[in-house]
Every structure is written in C-alpha cells, then in structure tokens.
C-alpha cells in the first residue's frame, strides 16, 4: 500500500518535472519546425495550400513533410500557445493575442489589407443556388433571388463583416432594390428557405438568414450546415432531390471540377477570408514568404534557424 | 520466498492504485475543463431563451440631435453614452457568449424611441432597454458594427453623421430548442426501444429453444453493439427518413426518424442488459411459479419481470446516456439546424449535435460547448436519480 503510494507520488513528480521543464532563453532560436495542418477535407487547408503555391498538398497528406500533426482549428490554436517550435494556420477571424500571426510576403494580415488586395493568402466564401428551372415553387425562387440581392447589398456586407469575414465591395442598399423583389412585401412566414453547406461559416450564414428574414416577409430560414462539399451536392448534385435538399448552399473553398459545370448564374461569392500562418509568441520570426511556407510544409526547411539567417 | 511474494503482491496492488488514480485523474481533468470553461455561461436564461434573435430595422422619424439628453449623473461609469441620441450602450455578451452591444440606458427624450419599420414605414418600432444593436448605418459615414465595440459606435453617433437605419434585435443564443429536442428524443426513443428490447430479451432468455439458431441470433445481436453509429446514421437516412416521408409523417429529416435510428442503435444494448438481468433471477422462482399452476406468460409477467426491474433500469440508464451523447448518426437523420420551435415531424438539433456544429465553426465556441457539456452531465444525473428513486419506490411497493 505504502510502496504503491510512494511509487505513484514519484511518478507524478516526474511527470510534473517533465511538464515544467523550460527551455533555455532563445538567444539563438533554433529547433525542428513542428508542422500543424488541418485535415484534407478542410476548406482552410485548401485555401492555405493553394495560397502558398503547394496545391498538391490540399487533398494529399503524402506530399507533406514527415512528422506533421493533423489538428482542427481549435487544436492548432492551442498547439501554438504551447509549442514553441510549431507552425500552423487558421482563419483571420480566429486570430487572438495568445499566438503570433505572421506577415505574409511582408504584408500584415488585417481586414484592410485583405480588402485592398495586398494580403495574398486568402480564400473565397462562395454560394450556390438551385438551377434556374429547379425550384419547389415560384415564390421560393423569388425569395432566393431576393436573398442573393440582400447578401450582395451593403446591408449583407455589414452582416458578413460583423462576423469577421471580409465582404466583397457593394454599392447599393437593400432598401434601394427591395422594390425589385415584390415577394418580400408579402407575408412569407409560411415559406421556408433552406440553407446548407460549409460548417465553418455557420455563424455568418445564420447571421445573414436572421437579418434577411424580417426584410422579406419573415420568411422562415433553416440553416443546416454539414460541410463544403454538400453546397453543390444538395442544391444541384446527387442529393438535390433527396431528403436533405437545400435552396442555397455555402462553401468555404472555391467550387471545382463538376461543381463548375453548373450554370455560372447560380454561383456567387459572398466574402473573402484571410488565412494566417501562426506561430508561438516567443518565435522571433515575423514574416514568411509563400515559397518559405511551401518549403516548410514540403519538408525542405526543417529548422527555424534556416529562416532566421537572412 | 515470502519477501518476493509480498513484493509481487505490492506491485500488483500498486498497479491497481495507479490505474484507478489515472482514470480518476483524467475524469477529473475533463470535469475541471468543462467547469472552468462552461460555468461562466451557465444560467437559467441560457436554458430558457431562444437561439435565434428577432431582428428589426428602424429609421428615425426626425434627425435633429437631442438637446435635453444630457448624461444623467447617476449613470454607471461602464455605460457609454451618446448625448445627441440619449442612448447608453455597453459591450456585453449574448447567451451564447458572442460579443454584442446592448442598450443599457435610454433617455426619456431620446429620438430613438420613435422609429419606423424600414420595411413598412407606417409601422412604428421602438428600441428598448436590453435590446441588442447589431448595426447603425449612416447616409454619410461608414456603418457602425458590433465587432468594433460600443465605444466605436458611440463615437460614430457623436460624429454628427445622419442615421439612415438602425438594426436591432432581441438577445439570442439560448439553447432551449436543443434542450427540448434532446428531451423529446429521449422520450420517443425510450418509448420505442424499451418494449422492443425487453420483448426480445424475454424471448431469447425465457421462451426461445436452446439451439444453434438462438445462439447465432444472440451473437449477431452482440456484434451489432460494436457497429459505429455513423453506419446506423446511413441506415437512418436511407431507410427511416424516406419511410417517414412515405408515411406522410414528415417532409425530411426529423425527430421521428432520429428516434427510430436511435432505437436501432440502442436495441442491442437494451437486449443484452435486460437479458443479463433476467439471467440473475434464480430458476427456483420460475419453477415455484409454474408449480403453483401459473403458465409461462404469467410467470414471466408476474414473477420474472418485476424482479428484473433494477436490471432493466440499468438498460434505461445506458440508453439515456447513449441518446444524449449520440451525434454522428443524428447529423444526418436529425440535421444540424438549431430550432426554437421544436416539432417532432421537423428537423432540429440535439445538444450533442449543437456542440458539434459550434466546434466545427470558425472560430469555435468552446465556452458554450463546455456549458452544454455541463448541462448534459446535469441532465443525465437528474434522469438517473429520478429513475433510481422510481425503482426504489417500486421495490417498496412490491416488497
């Protein structure tokens, strides 16, 4: 009994000592770079890998440097608060002061720089509606049209900006075009508009729905978000007539392949999202280029000292 | 010789202590994490209020600044005040923990008392205390947004820009809908799975002939316990959802289909647990009952089942735990849309799926997720205590 307890205490102490061991001050900051990435289905990963000129790594883990860790958004943020030699990437909306956000090609990741197009590491948030002649009813189609007009208006941009994404420039107020959508003057509380697609922009989508509803006859909106690939599938793809069919689908990565064979009139972009490479706060590196990031993720640069030489 | 024996025994004991301590340690860490993150948001308002905020858009009727709306002396220092509009704002958080700007004071003479609905200029709307201001747009100034904070909104207001429109809403972010959905799911599923499961267990244990077919059946049921729930989700979306649509009960994923899927997920568990309970009842009871002239049905109904109630209640515990915790299958069959008005023939979202959709969002809402996790623990605890008390009462009655 006693022995067991002593053994235990010793083990716990050892654990604690290991946990508390601190690394010496980094006069010369050096260590193996620990790479963190999102999984291959992530829109953030797709945007990041394309942005740094490493598109083959978007859907393929095999081309990444060995020893990378796959984490979700939260996992990467948490890792950067403890792993001094780590590097990862998150969406600009997630960045806070517990980690260090790196400049990309010398440009600071800020909303202004995304809007004026000087910050290059970004991905689009896009949407897709049902095909021209494939609506449950004429009213639903008109309401969906009105919704698209709303999200492209200044009012829609405000909602998007408020949720941390960077909306496309807009030139008109909803009230200026409301007259073009007479359906919105009626009581639409018996009609339902179904939204789906990307789960990483749920909040933006819900905010848009909530703001739109009172402007269009209190139409009922349902936001059911399951993943970017469902944006196409459930509006114009295999599942468009299935039980989970949607009127409008959102995607947090650009449409591709078969998704692009749809009528361009049914697709649009609602916002940009900046992707930011992040490191631990004590990391002296401030800025990286696309080529450097590519080399890090491809395993051609493995130590931080290689990045600090110049 | 003895020394060695003692040492080995000590070591073995030490390992059990270590195992138990490690398990407790990790459970403790989880509990601590949930408490530390979730307790702050935990309040009754979160449980009883709507998730979706009700939005209004209003325009001021007159545009001149208020001259009598000086800052009252007794106004708390943390309320930011715009004397031109007689409006006091504070940065707060909604029920879900998102930052919002809330109206905390309004001067009686404030021009913002008289707004007209932008969509219907004949209809007056009013900003009241506790209303959340989501944005204020101007004809000659960039829009003030929630995320820039109350201070920035006040300085925009004070810049003398002309207000074009004020968008405001009720406080949202509550989880009443998800809580109700979860409770309904528990009720519906238990109502379906318990009779089916108990009947099957009685058949297997009491009535079925002891032969190869029965034992194969039994091992098949055991195998089903290990099937990942996402597979059942696929079954749900390809069988139960179309079935409920065909029966004209629903028009898509729904609580009914969700409960049906959960029933299938839980059947093996309930059958297994009930069967174990039936097995523990001494054979003498049955023989005594039969000897007194009761037939098999009477024996099962009046002797075996009442004595198996504690064991069957264990099955209920396990079932409740599984229903509350299930997310993978429900994402398909029930959907991820958060509802305030829950109807069993419509889609909705359970607490576990609500956590899932908040954690996949960017950035993730850890705080509210932890709060919901805490709520789940509490609900399970309450239900378990409730069931235990009922069993206790029942036992007393039957002696």
Mark which residues 111-150 of A lie under 8 Å from B by CB. none
pLDDT band at A102 (very low <50, low <70, confident <90, very high): very high
**A34 membership: H or E segment, kind and range:** strand A34-37
User: Across all residues in chain B, what is the average pLDDT?
Assistant: 88
User: Across all residues in chain A, what is the average pLDDT?
Assistant: 87
Q: Report chain B residues whose CB lies below 8 A from the CB of A201.
A: 361-362
CA distance A187 to A55: 48
Asked if the domains at B53-169 and B176-398 fall in one CATH topology, the answer is no
DSSP state of B254: -
**Residue B180 has what pLDDT?**
94
User: B276 burial class (0-12, 13-18, 19+ CB within 10 angstroms)?
Assistant: middle
Is B299 within 8 Å of B287 (Cβ atoms)?
no
Spelled out in words, what is the top-level CATH class assigned to the domain A124-273? alpha beta
B331-341: pLDDT as tens digits: 889 988 888 88
* In the predicted structure, residue A24 carries a pLDDT above the cut 50: no
C-beta atoms surrounding A92 within 10 Å: 24
| Residues in Cβ contact with A54 at an 8 Å cutoff, skipping those fewer than 6 apart | A63, A293, A294, A297, A298
CATH (one of 1.10.540.10, 3.40.50.300, 1.10.3720.10, 1.10.287.3510) for B176-398: 1.10.3720.10
**Residue A309 has what pLDDT?**
67
Q: Report chain A residues whose CB lies below 8 A from the CB of B13.
A: 1, 4
Is A108 within 8 Å of A149 (Cβ atoms)?
no
Is A119 within 8 Å of A107 (Cβ atoms)?
yes
Q: Which residues of chain B have pLDDT under 70?
A: 1, 63, 398-399
**Residue A3 has what pLDDT?**
64
pLDDT band at A13 (very low <50, low <70, confident <90, very high): low
**Residue A12 has what pLDDT?**
63
Q: Which of B143, B172, B362 sits opposite A91 (nearest CB)?
A: B362
Q: Report the CATH number of the B53-169 domain.
A: 2.30.42
Is B163 within 8 Å of B111 (Cβ atoms)?
no
pLDDT band at A89 (very low <50, low <70, confident <90, very high): very high
Q: Which of B10, B134, B242 sits opposite A243 (nearest CB)?
A: B242
**Residue B248 has what pLDDT?**
85
pLDDT band at A21 (very low <50, low <70, confident <90, very high): very low
**Residue A60 has what pLDDT?**
86
**Residue A26 has what pLDDT?**
47
Structure-token match 């601190």, residue found = A22
Torsion of CA B136, B138, B142, B146, to 10 degrees: 0
CA distance B35 to B40: 8
pLDDT band at A22 (very low <50, low <70, confident <90, very high): very low
CB contact under 8 A, B336 and A226: yes
- Asked if the ipTM is above 0.85, the reply is no
| Residues in Cβ contact with B199 at an 8 Å cutoff, skipping those fewer than 6 apart | none
Q: Looking at residues A58-82, what average pLDDT do you find?
A: 87
**Residue A11 has what pLDDT?**
67
CA distance B89 to B153: 9
- Could you confirm whether domain A30-123+274-308 is CATH 3.40.50.620? no
Sign of CA dihedral A79, A80, A82, A85: positive
User: pTM for this one?
Assistant: 0.81
**Would you call B54 an interface residue with chain A, using a CB distance cutoff of 8 Å?**
yes
Share of chain A above pLDDT 70, in %: 91
Domain boundaries, chain B: 53-169, 176-398
């Amino acid at each position: 009994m006693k022995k067991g307890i002593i053994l235990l205490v010793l083990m716990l102490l050892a654990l604690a000592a290991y946990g508390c061991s601190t690394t010496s001050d980094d006069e010369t900051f050096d260590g193996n770079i620990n790479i963190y990435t999102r999984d291959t289905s992530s829109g953030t990963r797709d945007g990041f890998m394309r942005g740094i000129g490493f598109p083959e790594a978007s859907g393929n883990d095999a081309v990444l440097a060995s020893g990378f860790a796959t984490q979700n958004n939260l996992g990467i943020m948490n890792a950067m608060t403890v792993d001094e030699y780590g590097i990862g990437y998150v969406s600009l909306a997630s960045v806070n002061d517990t980690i260090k956000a790196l400049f990309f090609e010398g440009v600071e990741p800020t909303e202004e720089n995304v809007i004026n197009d000087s910050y290059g590491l970004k991905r689009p948030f896009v949407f897709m509606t049902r095909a021209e002649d494939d609506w449950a009813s004429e009213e639903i189609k008109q309401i969906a049209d009105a919704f698209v007009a709303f999200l492209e208006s200044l009012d829609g941009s405000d909602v998007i900006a408020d949720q941390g994404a960077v909306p496309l420039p807009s030139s008109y107020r909803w009230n200026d075009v409301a007259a073009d959508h007479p359906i919105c003057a009626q009581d639409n509380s018996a009609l339902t508009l179904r939204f789906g697609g990307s789960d990483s922009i749920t909040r933006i989508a819900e905010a848009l729905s909530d703001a739109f509803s009172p402007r269009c006859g209190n139409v009922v909106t349902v936001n059911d978000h399951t993943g970017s690939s469902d944006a196409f599938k459930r509006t114009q793809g295999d599942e468009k007539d299935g039980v989970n069919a949607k009127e409008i689908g959102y995607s947090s990565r650009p449409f591709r392949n078969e998704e692009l064979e749809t009528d361009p009139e049914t697709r649009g972009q609602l916002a940009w999202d900046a992707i930011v490479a992040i490191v631990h706060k004590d990391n002296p590196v401030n800025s990286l280029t696309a080529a450097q990031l590519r080399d890090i993720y491809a395993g051609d640069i493995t130590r931080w000292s290689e990045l600090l030489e110049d | 010789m003895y020394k060695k024996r003692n040492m080995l025994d000590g070591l073995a004991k030490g390992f059990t202590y270590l195992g138990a301590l490690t398990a407790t340690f990790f459970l403790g860490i989880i509990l601590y994490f949930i408490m530390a993150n979730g307790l702050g948001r935990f309040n009754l308002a979160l449980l009883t209020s709507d998730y979706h905020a009700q939005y209004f858009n209003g325009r001021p009727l007159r545009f001149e600044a208020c001259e009598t709306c000086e800052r009252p002396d007794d106004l708390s220092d943390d309320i930011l005040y715009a004397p031109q509009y007689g409006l006091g704002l504070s940065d707060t958080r909604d029920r879900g923990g998102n930052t919002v700007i809330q109206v905390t004071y309004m001067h009686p003479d404030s021009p913002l008392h008289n707004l007209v609905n932008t969509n219907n200029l004949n209809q007056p709307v009013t900003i009241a205390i506790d209303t959340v201001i989501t944005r204020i747009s101007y004809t000659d100034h960039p829009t003030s947004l929630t995320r820039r904070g109350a201070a920035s909104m006040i300085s925009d207001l004070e810049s003398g820009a002309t207000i074009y429109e004020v968008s405001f809403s009720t406080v949202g972010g509550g989880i009443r809908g998800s809580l109700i959905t979860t409770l309904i799911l528990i009720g519906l599923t238990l109502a379906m799975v318990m009779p089916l499961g108990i009947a099957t267990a009685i058949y297997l244990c009491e009535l079925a002939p002891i032969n190869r077919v029965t034992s194969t059946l039994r091992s098949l049921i055991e195998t089903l316990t290990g099937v990942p729930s996402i597979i059942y989700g696929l079954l749900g979306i390809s069988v139960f959802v179309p079935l409920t649509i065909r029966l004209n009960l629903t028009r898509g994923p729904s609580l009914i289909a969700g409960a049906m899927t959960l029933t299938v997920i839980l059947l093996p568990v309930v059958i297994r647990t009930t069967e174990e309970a039936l097995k523990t009842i001494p054979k003498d009871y049955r023989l005594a009952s039969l000897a007194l002239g009761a037939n098999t049905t009477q024996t099962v109904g009046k002797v075996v089942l009442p004595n198996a109630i504690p064991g069957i209640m264990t099955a209920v515990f396990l079932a409740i735990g599984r229903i509350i915790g299930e997310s993978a299958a429900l994402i398909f069959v029930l959907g991820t849309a958060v509802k305030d008005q829950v109807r069993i023939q419509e889609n909705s979202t359970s607490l576990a799926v609500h956590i899932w959709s908040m954690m996949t969002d960017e950035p993730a809402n850890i705080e509210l997720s932890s709060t919901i996790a805490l709520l789940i623990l509490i609900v399970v605890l309450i239900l378990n205590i409730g069931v235990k008390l009922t069993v206790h009462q029942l036992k007393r009655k039957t002696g």
